[in-house]
Amino acid sequence: SAVISQKPSRDICQRGTSLTIQCQVDSQVTMMFWYRQQPGQSLTLIATANQGSEATYESGFVIDKFPISRPNLTFSTLTVSNMSPEDSSIYLCSVDRGADTEAFFGQGTRLTVV
Amino acid sequence: GQQLNQSPQSMFIQEGEDVSMNCTSSSIFNTWLWYKQEPGEGPVLLIALYKAGELTSNGRLTAQFGITRKDSFLNISASIPSDVGIYFCAGQLGYGGSQGNLIFGKGTKLSVKP
C-alpha cells in the first residue's frame, strides 16, 4: 500500500473563500483521485488527476469549482472555490496501483464552511 | 446510475457477537472491496475480492464475492470495541485501475457495547 498524506486535516472557512488541499504520496503513481464524502454519506468521485494533462471530472463536478493540479507523479492539489455551506464535507485523496483496483486513501480533509 | 445497496445501515451489538453485513446490486461487478473508516480518518482497505465465489479472510474478518457477481458480504467474528466504525463496500464494474468505475455503498455504521 502507499502512504498518502493530506493537508490540512481540517479547516473552517468563510463562505466565498477558497481552500486548497494538498495530497502527497510516498511513491510515484500514475493516477490520483479526489473524492467528496458529505456528512453521513458515502464517497463520490470528483475527478481523476492526471500528470501532464487536465483532470478528468465526473458528472456534476466542474473545473471552475474544483480546480486540480498534478505537477508530478507524487503530488496533487484540489481547490474548493467560492465555498458555500453546501461544500462542507470530507475531501479525500486516493491512489491505486494501476493494474489493481484497490483504492488507498489519505486521512481526509474535513472542511466546514460557515 | 449504478447503485450498491448496503445493509444494514447501522448495527448496535454486544462485544463478542458476530456481525454480518452485505451489499447487493443489479449490476455485475468484477471486483468487490471492503473498507473500514474510523472517525477523522480515511477509509482503510480490509479485503479485496476478484473472483466469483471467492472467500477471503483477514483475521476475524471474512468476505465473500457472490457467485452471481452481484453481491458480497462481510462477516466479523467475536467483535471487540475497536471494530467500531463505518464499513463500506465498493464494487468495480470494469477491469483495470480506473476508479471511475468504482461504486461505493452507503456504509454500515457499527457500534460495539463493551
The pLDDT tens digits of the residues spanning B29-58 come to 989 999 999 988 999 999 999 999 999 999
Does pLDDT of B2 surpass 90? no
**Residue A32 in contact with residue A85, Cβ under 8 Å?**
no
> In sequence order, what are the beta bridge partners of B10?
B109
pLDDT of residue A53: 85
CA pair distance A6, B72, nearest whole angstrom:
31
Task: From first to last of the 114 residues of chain A, give the pLDDT tens digit.
Answer: 678 999 999 999 999 999 999 999 999 988 899 999 998 888 999 999 988 888 999 999 999 999 999 999 999 999 999 999 999 999 999 997 665 667 889 999 999 999
Does pLDDT of B96 surpass 60? no
Residues 6 or more apart from B57 whose CB is under 8 A from it? B47, B63
Q: Which three cell numbers stand for residue B12?
A: 448496535
- Residue B104: its chain A contacts at CB < 8 A? 42-44
CA pair distance A32, A44, nearest whole angstrom:
14
Please answer yes or no on whether A45 and B88 come within 8 Å at the CB atom: no
Q: Which chain B residue lies closest to A105 (C-alpha atoms)?
A: B42
Q: Which three cell numbers stand for residue A44?
A: 463520490
